[in-house]
Structure 1
């Protein structure tokens, strides 16, 4: 029997186990950097599979499966394990039992899938060389990003992996399909915390006040010129303010200050740094010119995510061989962010998308929504493909 068929058969056999693991994880989600029960659950499953593990980065784990066909390189595979502060409204039997917490971004799928990969690779370990390293990473949804802690604690050392792969659920794609994007794929993600201070007063006598709301309105409009008139039109970049609130105010009361929360995203690290400088100058200068003050704090988030061109095109072709050409697509650039990006700046990396959609069953909700769910047929595709990519890379 060919290795491809062995892996596919193992994926088919492990589907029930992997689905059960996913449902358990979905019922008991935990927030970023507090994944204590999740960590224990993963550790227990690895022990059942006879795979030694090491706790790392607080609530993360790493483990390895050594191939029996001889020495070779190391290939790393990563899954994130944290959930989001969202209250689930789905009525599925596996709906979240932890109030206000939900696996609304598919990290339960990622974790269960990687455990499925571990089960598959244990069953075919005599057929590949080298080692496969599993990274179960905490805190993808919260700065500074669990990837930074995994890297700091040595997840990419002793030895340095030849490549790293990660996958992420993708509701626009039907279950059974996957998508790839060579090169720059996802944006950097910085958080903006802006405070505008003025002088409060009566709404009918604005000349006696310094209105921070008016200053904020001008700033919100003006910062868009950093994108439309200062950014190279061929370089994607976004500045969005998603929340604005004052420290008081009423129909006839001008408040003393206004707070704004936003995000800054781009696909170039040099321009990202330049935007930080220009944004600071713009908001402080404009506020001062109108009689107020501005204080900007930038929460430095994840860098842009760059898939290694050669590795990703290779993975695209391997996915076509494993799943069939009709089930593999090329994806457009996204301005969303992912802390897998940190890995991509250290070694050859490929971050791809796993289809989870099933329109006939009404499984169409986007990630980060309270109705998000997946067609669990993806748990046949995800583990099988990731196992195939790992062994093909090692045996190549």
Structure 2
């Protein structure tokens, strides 16, 4: 039987087991670096299949399959953590942990990689190289679990040659995948600004230095950094989602807090923008009789897919699911700590379609996000095939 057909047959055979694992994980989500039960569940599954593993990055797990040769090493990554969101779906297996939900699909990522582990173990004699399965904690919070994985050196000895990762995408129909070479996902920084003025009675603004007006003016003025200072060819986003002014209808507060995010696709411009955000904020505040403190917490870098590797992966995808099921995606202004792996190894991060055909699918990070579970066979089968093809395995 051709290797492709063999993989598809195994994926179909184990589908119900992997589906059950995904539902268990969805029902028992855990927040970043608190994935203790998730980690134990992964280890138990690996033990049942006789796959050796080691702990990493607190709650993470690194499993290894050693093939007939050692000249190539590929890593496959799945993130494990959930989000602080109260689930509002009607699923029979909805989250039982109050205020915690797998709204970004990491339950599917883990289940799919477990499926890959099972498939690879069944075909272990055909592996001509080393495969490292990276179950990574804490993608959702800074500084992220990827950097800890790298710092601990678990992707060395043997050193990983390439690393692959997949992420669910509800806007892509189940059975399809999205891929893009070159720049793909944005950097991400958290911005916190404290505007300090002199509060007082709302009826006597002339006796105050109003930090609410200063904060509002800062937000509006900062938008010109993206619209006027940035090269229009470089995608950038500056958004503020939180303003906290503890005053009232007739009380001007002393302090206002602002929180937002800056994202871009260019690391040099990222540095320049940080400086401008600080300069403009202080200048505007000072011009209105206020002061401000600015903290920019540096987040994940831009994610760049290796062009040579991604071209290969694209061709392997055609072999497995056909060209009509592959979408060449646009850039995505979301951020991913997979970008740290991409800075150290040749990498390809692609999107796994999880949407239902002909209906509106709730987006990621929302309390009603659901996936079409038909994607599970595609997810684990495709990643298994990509692994074999990269390692030049014979049938």
Q: If the length of structure 1 is used for normalisation, what is the TM-score?
A: 0.97
Contact 1:72 1:394 in 2 (8 A): no
1:330 corresponding residue in structure 2: 328
1:157 paired to 2:160: no
Deviation at 1:359, TM superposition (A): 3.7
* Aligned-partner Cα distance in 1 for 2:85–2:252: 34
- After superposition, residues 329-348 of structure 1 pair within 5 angstroms as 329-348=327-346
What's the CA shift string for 1:66-97, capped at 9, x where partnerless? Answer: 124x3331100000000011111222221111
1:278 corresponding residue in structure 2: 276
2:391 corresponding residue in structure 1: 394
- Aligned residue for 2:299, secondary structure, equals strand
- After superposition, residues 274-313 of structure 1 pair within 5 angstroms as 274-313=272-311
1:243 paired to 2:248: no
1:191 corresponding residue in structure 2: 190
* Aligned-partner Cα distance in 2 for 1:329–1:55: 36
* Aligned-partner Cα distance in 1 for 2:375–2:154: 27
What's the CA shift string for 1:99-150, capped at 9, x where partnerless? Answer: 1111110000000000000000011111220111000000000110110111
- Aligned residue for 1:345, secondary structure, equals helix
1:382 corresponding residue in structure 2: 379
1:100 corresponding residue in structure 2: 99
1:18 corresponding residue in structure 2: 18
Deviation at 1:285, TM superposition (A): 1.7
2:362 corresponding residue in structure 1: 365
* Aligned-partner Cα distance in 2 for 1:250–1:93: 44
* Aligned-partner Cα distance in 2 for 1:160–1:190: 30
Contact 1:363 1:373 in 2 (8 A): no
* Aligned-partner Cα distance in 1 for 2:326–2:333: 22
- Aligned residue for 1:258, secondary structure, equals strand
1:254 corresponding residue in structure 2: 252
* Aligned-partner Cα distance in 2 for 1:209–1:34: 46
What's the CA shift string for 1:343-388, capped at 9, x where partnerless? Answer: 111110000000111146x671111111111111111000011011
1:316 corresponding residue in structure 2: 314
Q: Taking structure 1 as reference, are residues 131 and 234 closer, same or farther at Cα in structure 2, changes over 3 Å only?
A: same
What's the CA shift string for 1:235-274, capped at 9, x where partnerless? Answer: 011111111011x221111110100010000111111111
Q: How big is the alpha-carbon RMSD for the aligned residues of Structure 1 and Structure 2?
A: 1.1
Runs of 4 or more off by more than 3 Å in structure 1? Answer: none
* Aligned-partner Cα distance in 1 for 2:354–2:303: 22
2:213 corresponding residue in structure 1: 214
1:66 paired to 2:63: no
Q: Taking structure 1 as reference, are residues 14 and 363 closer, same or farther at Cα in structure 2, changes over 3 Å only?
A: farther
1:269 corresponding residue in structure 2: 267
What's the CA shift string for 1:176-215, capped at 9, x where partnerless? Answer: 0001010000000000011100000111111110000111
* Aligned-partner Cα distance in 1 for 2:354–2:383: 16
- Aligned residue for 2:139, secondary structure, equals coil
Contact 1:3 1:127 in 2 (8 A): no
* Aligned-partner Cα distance in 1 for 2:248–2:371: 45
Deviation at 1:153, TM superposition (A): 1.1
- Aligned residue for 1:395, secondary structure, equals coil
Contact 1:185 1:334 in 2 (8 A): yes
* Aligned-partner Cα distance in 1 for 2:378–2:290: 57
Q: If the length of structure 2 is used for normalisation, what is the TM-score?
A: 0.98
Contact 1:138 1:146 in 2 (8 A): yes
Contact 1:363 1:374 in 2 (8 A): no
* Aligned-partner Cα distance in 2 for 1:373–1:251: 41
Deviation at 1:58, TM superposition (A): 0.3
Deviation at 1:156, TM superposition (A): 2.1
1:27 paired to 2:24: no
Unaligned 5+ runs, structure 1: none
Contact 1:84 1:101 in 2 (8 A): yes
Deviation at 1:3, TM superposition (A): 1.1
Unaligned 5+ runs, structure 2: none
* Aligned-partner Cα distance in 1 for 2:392–2:40: 32
Q: How many residues align?
A: 393
Contact 1:4 1:322 in 2 (8 A): yes
